[in-house]
Structure 1
């Protein structure tokens, strides 16, 4: 049993209740003119249910898919950047490739 003394408000919130648990509340109001009062009838209610494990796995899966997509896009961007850099490949008839990198000191023939 838990006993709380709270100042009067239209609505009071108890922040440290556990999710998915039934709590019963009974209220007594004490004033300066009436220091003793009787408790109200008990009212019982469940707090919100705890989050399901399925939603946690779904969130982890979505984060994993998002990370994979970002990884693949970055790889694609790096590949495009490397292909369009200053590296020029010449196709020779024997189907071998020789690549020549242009530098600021070399001139085109």
Structure 2
């Protein structure tokens, strides 16, 4: 949801490739699968319920992969925009995803030195 809610701002970053349609499909799946997940143990036989759980876990793994891809893509674009790549930046983007990206964006938006803001 974070990537979709900041689409206008993220589109301004250089060479960014975020699969917005895939993110929308993932959100749609998780929102509309809640009733199915609640009623599945009662409505499905044991074999069908096992298949449902397997499909749900596969979609969960693919969703995590898409999220990591988006986080690494935005981190690379932020690094290109800022001109420097902090040590362990990619690893932190992989582990912390949105928290790290928002931290980097906040750091870029604050003034570097107090005397620069006073002079301007």
> Is the TM-score greater than 0.5?
no
Higher relative contact order (CA 8 A, sep 6+): 2
| TM-score where L is the length of structure 2 | 0.31
Between Structure 1 and Structure 2, the one with more strand by share is 1
| TM-score where L is the length of structure 1 | 0.34
Between Structure 1 and Structure 2, the one with more helix by share is 2
